[in-house]
Amino acid sequence: MTPTRLLLLGFTLSGVIGCAQFQLQSESTPETPEDTTADVKLWADFLDAPDAISAAVPPAISEQASPYPDDLWARVRAGFAMDGVDHERTAAELAYYKRHPVFLDRVSERATPYLYHIVSEVEARGMPMEIALLPVVESAFQPFAYSHGRAAGIWQFIPGTARHFGLKQTWWYDGRRDIIASTEAALTYLERLNNMFDGDWQLALAAYNAGEGTVMRAIRRNQAEGLPTDYWSLRLPQETRQYVPRLLAIRELVDAPDEHGMAMRSIPNQPYLEVVEVGSQIDLALAADLADLTIDELYVLNPGFNRWATDPEGPHRLVVPIDNAEVFAGNLESIPPAERVQWARHRVEPGQTLGQIARRYNTTVSVLQETNNINGHVIRAGSHLIVPTSSRPSQQYALSADQRLTRNQNRSRNGNRVEHRVQRGDTFWGLSRRYGVGVRQIAQWNNMAPADTLRPGQTLVIWASDSNGRQAGNNGPAQGQPIVQRVRYTVRQGDSLYRIAQRFRVSVDDLRAWNNLSGQRYLQPGQQLTLHVDVRNQSGS
DSSP letters of 136-197?
HHHHTT-TT-B-TTS-BTTTTB-HHHHHHTT--B-SSBBTTS-HHHHHHHHHHHHHHHHHHT
What pLDDT does residue 240 have?
95
Shared domain for 198 and 297, answered yes or no, is no
Q: With beta carbons less than 8 A apart as the criterion, state whether 365 and 312 touch.
A: no
| Number of neighbours of residue 531 by Cβ within 10 angstroms | 20
| Number of neighbours of residue 323 by Cβ within 10 angstroms | 17
For the CA atoms of the chain, what is the radius of gyration?
26
Shared domain for 103 and 176, answered yes or no, is yes
Whether 123 is catalytic: no
List the domain range (segments joined by +) for residue 369. Answer: 343-389
Residue 464 lies in a domain: no
Q: With beta carbons less than 8 A apart as the criterion, state whether 249 and 93 touch.
A: yes
Q: Please give the average pLDDT of every successive group of 10 residues along the chain, which has 541 residues.
A: 36 35 35 29 34 40 49 95 88 92 90 96 97 96 89 94 94 94 98 97 97 96 96 95 96 93 90 95 94 94 94 94 95 92 89 89 85 86 88 84 85 85 87 87 90 87 67 41 68 84 79 73 80 61 41
The distance of Cα 204 from the centroid of its chain, to the nearest Å, equals: 25
Residue 218 belongs to a domain with what CATH number?
1.10.530.10
What pLDDT does residue 45 have?
35
The DSSP line for 60-76 is: P---SPPSSSSBHHHHH
| Number of neighbours of residue 499 by Cβ within 10 angstroms | 13
- Crossing angle of helices 103-124/238-255, nearest 10°? 90
Q: With beta carbons less than 8 A apart as the criterion, state whether 210 and 24 touch.
A: no
Q: With beta carbons less than 8 A apart as the criterion, state whether 157 and 167 touch.
A: yes
Domain end, chosen from 297, 313, 339, is at 339
**Selection from 302, 249, 233, 246 nearest residue 273 by Cα:** 302
What pLDDT does residue 478 have?
44
The model's pTM: 0.71
If one counts the domains in the chain, the total is: 4
Shared domain for 316 and 363, answered yes or no, is no
Q: Which of 138, 239, 252, 297 is catalytic?
A: 138
Give the residues across from 274 on adjacent strands.
Answer: 320
Q: With beta carbons less than 8 A apart as the criterion, state whether 34 and 239 touch.
A: yes
Shared domain for 73 and 211, answered yes or no, is yes
Q: Phi first, then psi: what are they for 419, rounded to 5°?
A: -100, 115
Shared domain for 211 and 317, answered yes or no, is no
